[in-house]
């Protein structure tokens, strides 16, 4: 392929060579000029196309940035933000928590609090408890996306203001000795037992379903308390002071949860 630039630079030599071979070189200048214009036109066209593509990409990026909204941007007058507690039962294996958290962050969902615990050692299942805030549309979308994950066995959701759902607050104490640990369990269960009994007494006969649930919860707490005393819980000596401190903290936690 001929290099036009080199031909123009060495036009006389090129012209002489063609003439020696019997070619007519009278129109060589005109041909070279036309070819140069053609090449400049093509080059200008390429530059214009490149600029148009670049401007299109810039406009597209600006449009995407303007339209990219968090899932919480859809809240309107009819859909208000509510706090929900989402419980997810998953396989207890490496990487599961990262996948669940990545699902929230990747879609713009917020996590207010997160707790993970193993619930069944034989079946190797853990429970992830997530507190999040969003519209009904957002919460439904979160549940659907979580259910699609392979390690997830079950997804449950509870509204924080739902009066038909009972929420329990748990206080953790670092204690030395088996007697102190058992006393902690017994003291907390006694406070919860009285709290449940007050709720049972306040419920009317037309609320039998809720009443039966609370009775079942109370029976479980009494069972835990009985086990604690069998395992060595005692209120003798200085343990009585510890019992009062634990009960006071439990009562405060219950009152705070009732106000919330």
Pair 187, 249 in one domain: yes
123 within domain boundaries: yes
Intra-chain end-to-end CA distance of the chain, in Å: 83
102 within domain boundaries: yes
Pair 61, 86 in one domain: no
Pair 97, 149 in one domain: yes
In 3D space, the residue among 105, 110, 113 whose CA is nearest the CA of residue 72 turns out to be: 110
CATH number at residue 92: 3.30.70.260
Domain that holds residue 113: 82-159
Question: To the nearest whole percent, how much of the chain has pLDDT over 90?
Answer: 4
What does the pLDDT average to over 242-256? Answer: 84
pLDDT at 162 over 70: yes
pLDDT at 175 over 60: no
Pair 62, 108 in one domain: no
Measured CA angle at 241 (ends 238, 246), to 5 deg: 130
Predicted pLDDT at 91? 92
DSSP notation for 97-130: HHHHHHHHHHTT---SEEEEEEEETTTTEEEEEE
Pair 228, 184 in one domain: yes
Residues 6 or more apart whose Cβ sits within 8 Å of residue 11: 28, 29, 32
pLDDT digits over 198-239, tens only? Answer: 888 888 777 888 888 888 888 888 888 889 888 888 888 888
203 within domain boundaries: yes
221 within domain boundaries: yes
E strands along 16-112, which residues?
82-91
Predicted pLDDT at 65? 47
Domains held by the chain: number = 3
pLDDT digits over 229-243, tens only? Answer: 888 888 888 888 888
- Is pTM, for the whole model, over 0.75? no
116 within domain boundaries: yes
In 3D space, the residue among 220, 229, 248 whose CA is nearest the CA of residue 183 turns out to be: 229
Boundary (domain end) residue, out of 159, 190, 205: 159
Predicted pLDDT at 157? 87
pLDDT at 92 over 80: yes
75 within domain boundaries: no
pLDDT at 77 over 60: no
pLDDT at 167 over 60: yes
Pair 51, 88 in one domain: no
């Amino acid at each position: 392929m001929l290099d036009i630039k080199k031909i123009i630079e060495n036009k006389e030599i090129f012209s002489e060579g063609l003439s020696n071979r019997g070619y007519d070189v009278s129109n060589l200048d005109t041909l070279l000029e036309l070819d140069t214009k053609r090449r400049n036109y093509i080059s200008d066209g390429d530059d214009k196309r490149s600029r148009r593509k670049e401007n299109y990409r810039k406009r597209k990026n600006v449009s995407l940035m303007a339209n990219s909204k968090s899932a919480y941007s859809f809240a309107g007058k009819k859909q208000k933000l509510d706090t929900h507690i989402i419980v997810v039962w998953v396989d207890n294996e490496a990487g599961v928590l990262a996948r669940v958290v990545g699902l929230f962050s990747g879609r713009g969902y917020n996590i207010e609090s997160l707790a993970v615990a193993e619930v069944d050692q034989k079946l190797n299942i853990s429970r992830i408890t997530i507190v999040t805030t969003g519209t009904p549309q957002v919460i439904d979308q979160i549940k659907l996306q979580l259910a699609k994950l392979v390690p997830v066995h079950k997804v449950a959701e509870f509204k924080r203001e739902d009066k038909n759902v009972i929420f329990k607050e748990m206080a953790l104490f670092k204690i030395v000795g088996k007697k102190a640990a058992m006393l902690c369990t017994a003291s907390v269960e006694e406070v919860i037992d009285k709290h449940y009994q007050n709720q049972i007494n306040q419920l009317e006969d037309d609320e039998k379903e809720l009443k039966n649930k609370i009775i079942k919860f109370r029976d479980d707490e009494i069972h835990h308390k009985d086990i604690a005393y069998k395992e060595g819980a005692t209120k003798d000596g200085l343990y009585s002071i510890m019992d009062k401190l634990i009960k006071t903290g439990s009562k405060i936690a219950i009152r705070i949860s009732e106000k919330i």
